[in-house]
Amino acid sequence: MTDAPSQPIAPGTLSGTVALVTGSSRGIGADTVRYLAQAGADVVINFRNKAPRAEKLAAEVRELGVRALVVGADLTEQPTIDAMFEAVKEEFGRLDVLVLNASGGMESGMAEDYALRLNRDAQVGALQAALPLLEASTAEGGARVVFVTSHQAHFIRTTPTMPEYEPVALSKRAGEDALRELIPSLEAKGIGFTVVSGDMIEGTITATLLERANPGAIAERRESAGKLYNVSEFAAEVAQAAVDPVPADNTRLVGDVSAFAAE
């Protein structure tokens, strides 16, 4: 982790809580796990097919004195989602923080509907499966759900994005919309919900794939925005969203938004 607060959340802030981050064997998800663990949370590390990397992260955070559970799950397959939360129930009995970080859609060789299945259906499926554990939360102020997205997706209805990214942006916005529909029922259960939207993030797989498809795109956006967050900096914002008060509009915008038109 570089160029980000070494401990954005004060040590001990999350002691006694349990946090699960989807897609957390690398990148933003992995750094989010590190920050939550530094704050004292026991963590659940989810991976799709990189078990050794997930286990390495678990060993790292255990040195902080917290517990770490590693669970593989393909989020586009509901039975594996259900099995993941069953494992969390057996290990911890509850869940206090759920960070919906996993996303995709630019990978090659995937089915035409893959982006929508992962970025919309899987997000809702994961939250629904987690609800009994979130309702059992003992965290002060109740459980918290954080959904991670991008400005290019969050503002897609008013601000066009690169053609190469548009299918992913539309699917992620569909996922955000579907989750937002659940806010009243979540609030009734004492569960807070925050969308964290960021600009292009330097060093992510998505940025790499976009740059490959559209050379110069990252540099152009960096020049326009003045600054792009890196993985560690953005992960710090995601982790902070798990402890900060829920914004009135349930939205935490990270980075420049002057090029995006609000709805």
Per the listing, tokens 């969050």 go with: 154
Q: Which of 164-173, 186-195, 212-221, 244-253 has the lowest mean pLDDT?
A: 212-221
pLDDT at 254: 94
Q: What is the mean pLDDT of residues 199-203?
A: 76
What are the structural domains of the chain? 18-254 (3.40.50.720)
Contact (CB, 8 A) for 218 and 211? yes
**Partners of 192 in the β-ladder:** 144
Is the pLDDT at 175 greater than 60? The verdict is: yes
CA-based nearest residue to 4, from 245, 148, 203: 203
Average pLDDT over all residues of the chain: 91
**Partners of 197 in the β-ladder:** 149, 253
The pTM score is: 0.93
Q: What share of the chain is helix, strand, coil (3-state, %, to 5)?
A: 45, 15, 40
pLDDT at 74: 93
User: How confident is the model over 99-127, as pLDDT tens digits?
Assistant: 999 998 767 667 778 889 999 999 999 99
